[in-house]
Structure 1
């Protein structure tokens, strides 16, 4: 029977697997009576593709590992169980003057999931990936053995587990380094720009002085306006200029999942035009709370339901520095020509901060992330076209957001995949890993 509570955030593919729970009182993995089935650690289900799915097997729900263990308030070092979410960390540490060194676009991911997918944020050019700020963690294997892993102790397991997609074992707890902040506010600037060339000009100029940079783009724009959008950059506020700014309440929700997607070419064109022109001035400055700056979509609970019962595909590629401008232009031209636009289209530059993980996604260059409603083969054909461009310039597709990458492309993009196999727990598997390591 399909368990709808343990699927991916994008709702595709829908699989059949059994779910079992693990909590802080559990001294071993809950695998009794599993008849030798494979299992997979499962965090908060915010992965978009099938890295969190194990069709025909078992997923181990690790949200019960949700305790804080130790906090060094002087140096900003937190040790907590792997099921703690980033939201829970921020609620605890921001009032004490500490923030996550790296955060993705949602606060509803677990620490274990952030490590397993080696997530990145708007500050990759300054801070790299989440895994670069993990001091150590405990890894529980299916044979009951436990390893403390760090850059100096069991370093090969440390490298395999960061970005290892949950395949090396269950992370039970982790120790992470935070960064100091003086408030919960961000000094934000928003620049309306006209085309892709202007984006790259602003992005290069911003990376030196701004810790966080990202752009929303209108992926349906064409011609001289191809790649137009809003460039958002910000730094943590040193002083509170507006004491009336309060933490926003996120209480909107999409109550039901419609049988069809609410995102189509007409609604997208209307939304993109309104959103691009919402800012009358070319540039605005102000202070905002960190939540709308880092987590705008978290303001709407269950926003993934707007894509309907067939779900959606998220596609994120990274393109190397030398070819990124021409390749990005070709990708956007292919998308705009089909009319299959993306509701959320995010573009930013990656820095040259190497991650310790064997399968980490970021590379120096540019990255583009898009959400496409699942229209079946029509959508898959477009994604195959985007793969073709990415492949041709030596780029790569993000595994933690993928649901359909070919095994040939995965093995081309991530040449360490065979080395990774040496560290995979013999009882752990995932729908993703079986798919991308199959014979081409």
Structure 2
């Protein structure tokens, strides 16, 4: 069948198998010749599509056990993060690390070693993973952790499914008093103001910024920086304090069809960015928002990827080292605004330190931008790649759909070691994705 990631680009032919048991999965892996696991298809590009066979884990979706003392959940790889929240937030538990969508699976979160709005405080998803069970090319399952089979553990976290099929994992949740977040919005008139706000908020539990990538001059990189803290029961008004873990649900909206290609252009994006920024200026300060609104604003719009039209979109996401972040971000934003091809989904975050074999984050800043697919935007993204390389940055494979192998090799000296580990352990013979072949991993 024809399959794509969330960005709907590229679209590739693959054989899709959805085993309903571990035994069925074992048969698929043993028969080969090469496979890659796919969770809920929320990787943007081709990292969860096999050139030969794609193994969909949607039926491996059981929550096996939960320890109410430690907050450790044992779950199969196909369990959605949203299902975890639905089951355990009413009991006072919430994920420690979460990406910008709750529709990612546990297996996908581990494979991409996803990060959230609190990386500067706790790091990436690996921080809350106790152990992982991985099926190798012989169909046997190996449990790995920081203390046992640590090399497999380290390479699986961030390894994009290229070390084997993730079957089960033990993941720690955090206790919370309520389902509400105290959100403070800071209007930052420029990139430097936004970075100053991030640096001054290193003690904040959560921080993220929407950034206007079409603003220019002294307003280059103007942003709305949003800080968040889990609210206590005492922070809630009476009507919410009586049921602090229950938040009112909003009716989901949906995009019923692909928008025409001309709907997103420099004029509509510029108008949206200006309106959104000034709305943030007017509605700033601190307010209570529910967990869904704070962590997953885009999940409220079902099928939002259709906004970009039938051709789909690509996301550019880079991480820049702290000492080069200001210069690199400035140059990136100047390149984007100069071409007038801005993204209305533009996110800036501050990363803390991280040491891992192949995970994306590094201490510094990460910028994420979505662009509708066209010849012009692909040329622009190649230019953004070059700017990132000049400033010592690297790229997020969970969002990549068009980078070259040469660019990846130049961006990250860990690629050679990861490739060698794949060869030595035999992972490269059996576990391959369209992305891994394109990037020659």
Global fold match (TM > 0.5): yes
Q: For the residues of structure 1 that align with 2:262 and 2:56, how far apart are their CA atoms? A: 29
Judged with a 3 Å threshold, the aligned counterparts in structure 2 of structure 1 residues 170 and 117 are, in CA distance, closer, same or farther, namely same
SS at match of 1:220: coil
Deviation at 1:168, TM superposition (A): 1.1
Q: Deviations over 1:144-178 (max 9, x none)?
A: 11101101111111011110101111111100111
**Which residue of the partner structure matches residue 229 of structure 1?**
223
The answer to whether the Cα contact below 8 Å between 1:87 and 1:108 also exists between their aligned partners in 2 is yes
The answer to whether the Cα contact below 8 Å between 1:20 and 1:60 also exists between their aligned partners in 2 is yes
Please list, as runs of the form range in 1=range in 2, the aligned pairs for 1:236-315 lying within 5 A after superposition. 236-239=230-233, 240-244=235-239, 246-258=247-259, 260=261, 262-281=263-282, 283-315=284-316
Please list, as runs of the form range in 1=range in 2, the aligned pairs for 1:259-408 lying within 5 A after superposition. 260=261, 262-281=263-282, 283-354=284-355, 356=356, 358-376=357-375, 378-408=376-406
TM-score (norm 1): 0.94
**Which residue of the partner structure matches residue 243 of structure 2?**
none
Residue 426 (structure 1) aligned with residue 429 (structure 2) = yes
Q: Deviations over 1:202-222 (max 9, x none)?
A: 1100112x1100000111100
The answer to whether the Cα contact below 8 Å between 1:127 and 1:353 also exists between their aligned partners in 2 is no
Deviation at 1:425, TM superposition (A): 5.1
Judged with a 3 Å threshold, the aligned counterparts in structure 2 of structure 1 residues 76 and 256 are, in CA distance, closer, same or farther, namely same
Deviation at 1:25, TM superposition (A): 5.9
**Which residue of the partner structure matches residue 156 of structure 1?**
151
Judged with a 3 Å threshold, the aligned counterparts in structure 2 of structure 1 residues 168 and 243 are, in CA distance, closer, same or farther, namely farther
Q: For the residues of structure 1 that align with 2:29 and 2:388, how far apart are their CA atoms? A: 44
Judged with a 3 Å threshold, the aligned counterparts in structure 2 of structure 1 residues 236 and 310 are, in CA distance, closer, same or farther, namely same
Q: For the residues of structure 2 that align with 1:369 and 1:361, how far apart are their CA atoms? A: 13
**Which residue of the partner structure matches residue 54 of structure 1?**
50
Q: For the residues of structure 2 that align with 1:205 and 1:62, how far apart are their CA atoms? A: 42
Deviation at 1:32, TM superposition (A): 8.7
- In structure 2, which of residues 428, 435, 439 is the aligned counterpart of residue 436 of structure 1? 439
More helix by share: 2
**Which residue of the partner structure matches residue 189 of structure 1?**
184
Deviation at 1:412, TM superposition (A): 2.5
Deviation at 1:259, TM superposition (A): 5.3
The answer to whether the Cα contact below 8 Å between 1:11 and 1:311 also exists between their aligned partners in 2 is yes
| Count of equivalent residues | 429
Unaligned runs of 5+ in 1: none
Q: For the residues of structure 1 that align with 2:330 and 2:316, how far apart are their CA atoms? A: 16
**Which residue of the partner structure matches residue 107 of structure 2?**
112
Q: Deviations over 1:103-152 (max 9, x none)?
A: 00000000000000000000001110001211001111231111011011
Q: Deviations over 1:345-389 (max 9, x none)?
A: 0011111143x4x2100000111000001112x111111111111
Q: Deviations over 1:224-260 (max 9, x none)?
A: 1001121100110122423556332352111222453
Deviation at 1:261, TM superposition (A): 5.6
**Which residue of the partner structure matches residue 169 of structure 1?**
164
Q: For the residues of structure 2 that align with 1:261 and 1:82, how far apart are their CA atoms? A: 39
SS at match of 2:236: coil
TM-score (norm 2): 0.93
- In structure 1, which of residues 10, 15, 35 is the aligned counterpart of residue 7 of structure 2? 10
- In structure 1, which of residues 116, 119, 132 is the aligned counterpart of residue 127 of structure 2? 132
Runs of 4+ in structure 1 deviating by more than 6 angstroms, as ranges, are none
Q: Deviations over 1:319-346 (max 9, x none)?
A: 1111110110110000000011102000
Deviation at 1:414, TM superposition (A): 2.9
- In structure 2, which of residues 94, 99, 103 is the aligned counterpart of residue 99 of structure 1? 94
Unaligned runs of 5+ in 2: 241-246
